[in-house]
Amino acid sequence: MLGSALVVLAPSMLPGWALATVLDGSGDRFRKALLAPALGLLLMYGVSGTLVVLDLWSPILLAVCLIALNGFAYRMIHQRHEVLAKRTRWQMLEAAMHGEISDESDASSLSEEAEIQLGFQRSRSTVLLGVSVAIAATAFLPTLLQRLPFGVDWIGFAMLTQQLVLEGNLTLPGTNQGFWTYPPAFPSTAAWIAVLTGVNAGQAVFHLGHYTLFVLLLGMMGAMDRHGAGAYAMFSMGLGIGLFAKTFDSGFPSVASQLGLVVGVLVLFRHTDQRQRHHTLGLCLALYSVALIHPTGAIYLALLLLSHVLHGLSIDDEEQRERLRKLTYVASTFITIGFAVALLVIAPRLFDEAVFSEYGWQGGRPLLVYNGVLLAVAAAAAWGLRTTLEGRIATTWFALLWLLSVVHLVEGLRNVPVLSLLSYTLYSMALHAFHVPLAVLVALWLSPHTALTGLEDTPPTTTGPPQAFAAGLMVLVVLGTLFAQTVAFSLSQHEELLAVSPGDLALRDVLEDVEGAVFTENMHWGYLWNAPDGVEATSIPTLGLVHLDSSEQSSATQAMFHDNTTYFLKHDMLHALTSPLGTMQWTLAESPYWDVKAQNDGAVLWELHPEGDGEAVQLDGIDEDDCPACIARVDPWRNHKFRDPMNLGDDRPFLPEGTTGTVSLDPPFFATKLCLTYELIGRTDALYFQATQGLDRPYHGLRSDAGYHQACFGVDNSTALTEVRLEWDAEEPRRWLNPLGLSGRDTVLIDRTGVKLHWWSWSGE
């Protein structure tokens, strides 16, 4: 993780420092140190994404562009004008911060702004800022505990990253012809990490996602520090779990697109007379860069800009109105271009798609689940700040975002491409749309050192929270952070939550000896983000919009079902890769035309036997009736399995750790070998498998690490083998917080360790 962070921070820190200097000339070194990583990463995303759009991306060319960007940044920072008339506004503000008085007509406003900012810097709480930075740093913890992230989205991003590493573009890999349409900034920056550090694409995506969350939190602290609320920004963010849950679920580009809001909060939460042309240019740069990361961030920043404009129109000052009009013209140009691309290029490809909402109306229950506590405190903050310009901008911003979520109330509506596109773009907005706006409101309310702007030139009458209440909230966030890290340690022992099994990962190394086309399952566990050169997989993720000219996936799948060996020979597809999470292994295991070449814990690399002389096995599913001590638990991947030849259904028998259970079975007469496919929920104490008769050895120890496993046993008397017994070393299970209970994939939130039983495999000599 350290190497990944360094190869991103090193080329982006100086440009970020320069941008922070231009956008906030009143910032001292501490504030710039908070802002620079976030702003620099935003610029790096913009540069890398631009190269992909121009079809010029390569690590060497990206390095050249970053060197040039650093040279420009160095010159900007160190260029000083002795003649005051040549100084820019931000340079004059810098001078005012150091006590140098300007002769300019706006010297009084510069001095006033400098005095306010110096007051903020003197009133900073070192203790609170230290605690805030420490809380933000916990974003790195998952990358230190796990090899790969949870969730499923990261696999698609890793596929894009790998393709950029190999080809420098987003053409489809393997046996597919076509290309992906997806914002290129995040995967191309991850590809930079993969090339320079040597980590695989999945790890590069994982590291970049959590580094982005860390610098985003620092950036929000820096932006709010300009309002005297820097230390309170992190505590406000800690009252919600939206962005943290989105990062945990590997929605990294959605989180990365929030970097533009750092610029928005820094520039737009200020009186119009303090905003200059360079602020407008900074906003335009942020809008452009964010659009290359993910359109959600651009939408959120545009709505913040709209809120700023709406409240700026109420100011009775012609000079300020003129500045506002210029900002509106520039922003309208960007928004018009964005809508033109969406309407003319992307939306027509969604004409047959329905309005989509994975979690329901995003402004309802999902908002309460992920940001309910923050929303309640923000409601009090909105009332307390109702007479301030900043409070009204933040409140209106949240209201506009909430109105945007109405698109999810028309789920299922077809033939309206714009609404379909909007719903797909904002499909989980409850996690990432409301967190920052609500946190801004709360931070401004909690801080006792703000200098907010009154409406119509009247002093604001803010009503802050009682000191004890504010202290209680901060203690709550600290305790919540400690609890979250405890959960992180616990979840690191639950590799069964991964969208790929440990066996799937182990078999990737075996592919080094394979060439040609390889059949892979068209699900998360089947996508090869780290396939060796020479291996052409059949499946690809449908990330973003996929333009598919040709693919062998469907034809190969049908050929599997019908034992059409002619098809596989014609297409040089002599191998297939299956996962214990999938269903294709059930077809191949019973076919005499495929035989096991390599296997690891239920994941199998199959080899074609055109003559039909492969070893066929008989499969039997295990249900709750076979295990009286077991309880029924849903399969989290039930919605991703479209064939069920063993009638397993959506449930699996689950035996909690510490509970002894017997499992009945009905072996075929020819059986000389028995294999059990099972799934351990968490790392458990020792688990034993025994039978009083029928096995060549009556007592066996099973693996106890989390995830799917397969254990095989010799059978010496199949007619006598009617029951087996499972025993544990532990007397009771360990409790753990199951995040799948929140997502809906599982039905249990406070879960127990144990074992899920899946199926038996019988074979003879």
Percent of the chain, pLDDT > 90? 32
Q: Are residues 664 and 609 in the same domain?
A: no
Question: Could you tell me which residue, 260 or 509, shows the higher pLDDT?
Answer: 260
Per-residue model confidence (pLDDT) at position 672:
85
Per-residue pLDDT, averaged over 110-135, amounts to: 79
Per-residue model confidence (pLDDT) at position 345:
55
Q: Are residues 182 and 35 in the same domain?
A: yes
Percent of the chain, pLDDT > 70? 87
Per-residue model confidence (pLDDT) at position 691:
86
- Identify the weakest region by mean pLDDT among 75-79, 320-324, 541-545: 320-324
Q: Which of 457, 491, 525 is the last residue of a domain?
A: 491
Q: Give whichever of 150-154, 209-213, 646-650, 675-679 has the largest mean pLDDT.
A: 209-213
At 83, is the pLDDT very low, low, confident or very high (cuts 50, 70, 90)?
A: very low
pLDDT at 323 over 70: no
pLDDT in tens, 584-632: 988 888 888 998 898 888 889 999 998 888 787 888 889 888 899 999 9
pLDDT in tens, 685-739: 899 999 888 888 888 889 888 889 999 988 888 888 888 899 998 888 999 888 8
At 745, is the pLDDT very low, low, confident or very high (cuts 50, 70, 90)?
A: confident
At 100, is the pLDDT very low, low, confident or very high (cuts 50, 70, 90)?
A: low
Per-residue pLDDT, averaged over 654-676, amounts to: 88
Per-residue model confidence (pLDDT) at position 349:
55
pLDDT at 477 over 60: yes
Structural domain that includes position 641: 619-763
Other Cβ atoms less than 10 A from the Cβ of 476: the count is 14
- Does 496 fall in a domain? no
Q: Are residues 336 and 400 in the same domain?
A: yes
Token pair of 176 as six digits:
């597919």
Q: Are residues 603 and 532 in the same domain?
A: yes
- Does 736 fall in a domain? yes
Distance CA 413, CA 490 (A): 42
pLDDT in tens, 191-206: 999 999 989 999 999 9
Identify which of 613, 715, 718, 588 has the alpha carbon closest to the alpha carbon of residue 666: 718
Per-residue pLDDT, averaged over 282-287, amounts to: 85
Token pair of 673 as six digits:
């070998």
For 25, 39, 117, 486, 700, the CA distances from 92, given in Å and listed in that order, are 8, 22, 14, 49, 78
The overall average pLDDT reported for the chain is 84
pLDDT in tens, 236-247: 999 999 999 899
Per-residue model confidence (pLDDT) at position 695:
86
Q: Are 219 and 259 in contact (CB under 8 A)?
A: yes
- Does 293 fall in a domain? yes
Per-residue pLDDT, averaged over 52-62, amounts to: 93
- Does 251 fall in a domain? yes
At 64, is the pLDDT very low, low, confident or very high (cuts 50, 70, 90)?
A: very high
- Does 497 fall in a domain? no
Other Cβ atoms less than 10 A from the Cβ of 542: the count is 10
pLDDT in tens, 478-496: 998 888 888 888 888 888 8
Q: Are residues 268 and 134 in the same domain?
A: yes
Query: Could you tell me the CATH number of the domain that includes residue 623?
Result: 2.60.120
SS3 230: helix
Per-residue model confidence (pLDDT) at position 613:
81
**Which residue's structure tokens are 């249900």?**
623
Strands 516-520 and 573-578: parallel
- Does 307 fall in a domain? yes
pLDDT at 750 over 50: yes
At 50, is the pLDDT very low, low, confident or very high (cuts 50, 70, 90)?
A: very high
Distance CA 374, CA 234 (A): 12
Per-residue model confidence (pLDDT) at position 763:
83
Q: Are residues 155 and 297 in the same domain?
A: yes
Q: Are residues 685 and 723 in the same domain?
A: yes
Q: Which of 616, 645, 679 is the last residue of a domain?
A: 616
- Does 227 fall in a domain? yes
Q: Are residues 537 and 390 in the same domain?
A: no
Per-residue pLDDT, averaged over 411-422, amounts to: 74
Q: Give whichever of 79-83, 169-173, 664-668 has the largest mean pLDDT.
A: 169-173
Q: Are residues 95 and 164 in the same domain?
A: yes
Q: How many domains does the chain have?
A: 3
Per-residue model confidence (pLDDT) at position 437:
95
pLDDT in tens, 159-213: 999 999 988 899 998 888 888 888 899 999 999 999 999 899 999 999 999 999 9
Q: Are residues 510 and 484 in the same domain?
A: no
pLDDT in tens, 564-575: 999 999 988 999
Q: Which of 616, 648, 672 is the last residue of a domain?
A: 616
Q: Are 627 and 676 in contact (CB under 8 A)?
A: no
Q: Are residues 205 and 90 in the same domain?
A: yes
Kindly calculate the radius of gyration of the chain based on its CA atoms and give it in whole angstroms: 29
509: Cβ–Cβ under 8 A, 6 or more apart, which residues? none
What DSSP letter does each residue of 242-270 carry, written as one string?
A: HHHHHHHTT-HHHHHTTHHHHHHHHHHSS
Q: Are 129 and 449 in contact (CB under 8 A)?
A: no
pLDDT at 101 over 70: no
Q: Are residues 126 and 171 in the same domain?
A: yes
